[in-house]
Amino acid sequence: MILPETLPAQTTPPLDLELIRKYSIPGPRYTSYPPATKFTTDLAPLRLEEAIADDNRPGAAGGEPGRTSPLSLYFHLPFCETRCWFCGCNTVITKRREAAGEYLDDLARELRLTTSRLDRHRPVTQIHLGGGTPTFFPPRELQWLGELIKAHFPVAPDCEFGVEIDPRRLTEEHVLALRDIGARRASLGVQDTNPRVQLAIHRFQPHTRNEEAFKWLRAAGFTSINVDLIYGLPLQTPESFGATIDEVLALGPDRLSVFSYAHVPWIKPAQRIFDDREQLPGAGEKLAMFAIAHEKLSAAGYLDIGLDHFAKPQDELAVALREGTLHRNFQGYSTRGGASLYSFGISSISSTADTYRQNARTLPEWRAALDAGRLPFDRGLRLTTEDQRRRTIIMRLMCDRRLDFAALSTALGLDFTATYSAEIASLTDLVDDGLVRRTSAGIEVTRAGVPLLRVIAMRFDPTVTGAPLQHSRTI
């Protein structure tokens, strides 16, 4: 089924739902390569602490030659007052507000341990507060977190500072505190505006709270507001989800992330409640919701950035896509590359040029490591040269939507077409179906292929074979 061509010329063409149905299989979201499912707990051979010292060397993380790379910081603030039953995040459910202050004490210890190993002159060009619910933290605790960051790092004047916000737990004081510590980007968890769906997912959120959040954020000078939506939730229908999109578009977000609900009850037991109630929409309905979202956002002038992200044409993400400067990291698409990622708090993931390390996933384990004066990671990976090559190929596909074989041969120091001849040959069915085009320079993802970007990237990923259930479906 092909949807009617009603979209403005500069936006995405109608979706070919038959092709999406044909190719939509479980796969990684490629916020990293190799994906976090490949991290190991056998840490001794990885020498991850040494990797931090190595990372202080000029040019280590792919930054400018002769200069130490800048830093990107992530803080995982895991607390939520109640559990949304669909949620796949690493959260701690509590109503104890004192938990925020206690956690900040421990974050301060982790900051001291980490920065004692870092070149203190490296500028911070990106900060992200994620969760959980960062706005579970009272405004004065958010101010304190800002002071901690400034005390430990030189923050660049043009630092891109974003925060995830739950409109249900937001006051104007939160917004002012976030603005005062430098945040200018906000990502609002909305998911669905229909009260019946909200009841079914255990997340009651009157739309007036979303409107209020937008009003406060705009008044405080936030320059970019993203809204997260999820399709495939219990009791959703294509019509109800279409109405959610209309309501959200009326708020004028700069970006939208429209995620496919990942039903993985064997990993997230809270999701089992949906199986018991038999309220989940079927695959066909879910596909129709994706199509409606795509059609409405395209008609409203948003560009499909890839991997569920849409942005207004003037938004930095859309500009970076046009200019070929888009990057991808653990927070998704980004306009800032060449930085090493240092993350703090439970379950957060840090990366240098050739390592990943992930912190302990529970508060007691994380605190025990800090008590012992150890950096609190308990799993990780050291990338082989081949891993790094594959990462370059996959990230170029995800961000540029094309592979230039000659440029890759130079960048990777090998004959790309000879080395990856099997992978290139494996694209034939995608080429025949019009999702990929062969060009004189290499290959290009067609506009029809953009919704299936990660399926195309998987052809260059030897790690996905035989492990599909560790990942959600691509649509």
Residues making contact with ligand SF4 (CB under 6 A): 80, 83-84, 87, 89, 91, 131-133, 166, 189
* H/E stretch holding 104: helix 98-115
Nearer to ligand SF4, 94 or 409 (CB): 94
Residue 16 DSSP SS3: strand
CA dihedral 267, 272, 278, 281 (to 10 degrees): -30
Nearer to ligand SF4, 89 or 353 (CB): 89
Give CA 240 to chain center in angstroms.
Answer: 26
Q: How far is CA 300 from CA 7, 238, 290, 447, in A?
A: 9, 18, 15, 18
Question: What does the alpha-carbon distance between residue 416 and residue 47 come to, in Å, rounded to a whole number?
Answer: 30
The CA-based angle 229-341-409, given to 5 degrees, is 95
Nearer to ligand SF4, 132 or 449 (CB): 132
The residue with tokens 């299989």 is: 25
Nearer to ligand SF4, 164 or 254 (CB): 164
Least spacing, CB of residue 198 vs ligand SF4, in Å: 11
Least spacing, CB of residue 82 vs ligand SF4, in Å: 7
Least spacing, CB of residue 436 vs ligand SF4, in Å: 35
Question: What does the alpha-carbon distance between residue 256 and residue 333 come to, in Å, rounded to a whole number?
Answer: 12
Residue 226: CB atoms within 10 Å: 24
Give CA 58 to chain center in angstroms.
Answer: 28
Closest CA to 174 of 146, 143, 198: 143
Within 8 A by CB and 6+ apart from 311, the residues are 254, 255, 256, 302, 303, 305, 317, 318
Least spacing, CB of residue 101 vs ligand SF4, in Å: 19
Nearer to ligand SF4, 80 or 321 (CB): 80
Least spacing, CB of residue 174 vs ligand SF4, in Å: 14
Question: What does the alpha-carbon distance between residue 140 and residue 146 come to, in Å, rounded to a whole number?
Answer: 10
Question: What does the alpha-carbon distance between residue 369 and residue 351 come to, in Å, rounded to a whole number?
Answer: 19
Nearer to ligand SF4, 80 or 124 (CB): 80
Checking phi first, is residue 355 left (phi over 0); if not, alpha (psi -120 to 50) or beta? beta
Least spacing, CB of residue 88 vs ligand SF4, in Å: 8
Question: What does the alpha-carbon distance between residue 472 and residue 458 come to, in Å, rounded to a whole number?
Answer: 13
Least spacing, CB of residue 87 vs ligand SF4, in Å: 3
Question: What does the alpha-carbon distance between residue 350 and residue 342 come to, in Å, rounded to a whole number?
Answer: 5
Least spacing, CB of residue 53 vs ligand SF4, in Å: 34
Least spacing, CB of residue 141 vs ligand SF4, in Å: 17
Nearer to ligand SF4, 51 or 201 (CB): 201
Least spacing, CB of residue 387 vs ligand SF4, in Å: 30
What is the SS3 string spanning 155-195?
A: EEEEEEEEEEECHHHCCHHHHHHHHHCCCCEEEEEEECCCH
Nearer to ligand SF4, 93 or 368 (CB): 93
Nearer to ligand SF4, 154 or 206 (CB): 206
Nearer to ligand SF4, 348 or 446 (CB): 348
Residue 305 DSSP SS3: strand
